[in-house]
Each structure stands twice: as structure tokens, then as C-alpha cells.
Amino acid sequence: MRFLGHIEAKTDKKGRVFLPAIFRKEIQVAGEEHLILRKDVFQPCLVLYPESVWNLQLDTLRNRLNRWNKKHQQIFRMFVSDVELITLDGNGRFLIPKRYLKMANIQQEVRFIGMDDTIEIWCHSNEDEPFMDASEFTKDLQDIMSDDENQAISTNRSPKEHPKNEISAPLVL
């Protein structure tokens, strides 16, 4: 399941919004019945997780935390306590609760951004906020993709097996 692209939409007066058809199709094909909504940890946006992706994220977090460590329990509690289980209605709409609209500064217009296995929901007026400056993006992407360890991972080889002079396909932007 891969969510890609960005789509603009509007909420109605009740805070309901249509999940874009391209994302609904991905969810249906994967057999997902529920989505999980929470505020992003780093950005002023909301994140929709397919239930299976949420469960994997939760398992990963839980495995890194010690139940007998007070700080770890607080982190886990904070992460899981403010989530909403979302089910699409027959028309493909869902309700964004008022507290979430406030958290993300959403008035009426929203932008859905596919982020591989999750979907972000941004306030449309924050048009440039989700993105980096183009030159910064190019430099940072080059740094990440040219790192020997990352190239080894992307080609399923250890860093020692990855020849530095090997020609790889260029990334087209």
C-alpha cells in the first residue's frame, strides 16, 4: 500500500471531508477497514494511518520502550492516548474531530499528502510548510542517497559489497 501525491479538498461545516478516491482505492485493495488519526509528532498536520500500519508503528515503539521505565511509559501514553479510530462512511467521508481541526489549524480547505504508508492532512493555507526549499532538498537528498550505507541498503548489499565506482541509475526529480 503506497499513498503518493497531494490532493486539495474542503471540509464541510461539520468537519467531514472526502478521503481522495486514489487513497480510498489503495485502502480498499489492501482490505483495510479502519484508519487511525493522530496529530503528527513533528509537524502541525494530522496523520491517517491504515490500521495495519498503525499496529506496526505501535509494535515498533512498544518494543523500543521499557514498561518499567516511567519516562518510557509517559512517551507511550502520549503517543497512543490522543488518537481517533476512523471509519469511512458510504460516501468515502470521515469526520475530523474539532480538537484535531484546531491542532492542525484547519479551517475549511485541506491538503492530503501521500507519505508512502500514511496520509498527512495539512491546512491548505500552510501551502509551503510541508516542504523544504528546493536547493536544500536537492543537497540533502544527494547526501542521503550517495551515502555508502544507504546505497548498500537500497541494493540489499552490505556496505563492503557496494563498489564505489558502480554506476547506478540517476534519480530523476
pLDDT of residue 163: 47
Instruction: Say which DSSP state 42 is in.
Output: S
Task: Please report, rounded to a whole number, the percentage of residues in the chain having pLDDT higher than 70.
Answer: 82
pLDDT of residue 133: 81
Mean pLDDT value across residues 123-140: 78
Instruction: Say which DSSP state 160 is in.
Output: G
Higher-scoring residue by pLDDT: 151, 75: 75
Mean pLDDT value across residues 28-42: 93
The pTM for the full model equals 0.78
Q: Which three cell numbers stand for residue 65?
A: 520502550
Mean pLDDT, the chain, rounded, equals 85
pLDDT(96) > 50: yes
Its sign, for the CA torsion 80, 82, 23, 3, is negative
Beta-carbon contacts of residue 72 (< 8 Å; ≥ 6 apart): 65, 66
pLDDT(54) > 80: yes
167 confidence band (pLDDT: 50, 70, 90): very low
| CA 62 to chain CA mean position, Å | 19
pLDDT(140) > 50: yes
- 43/27 Cα distance (integer angstroms): 24
- 38/79 Cα distance (integer angstroms): 9
Contacts 24+ apart (CB under 8 A), 162-168: none
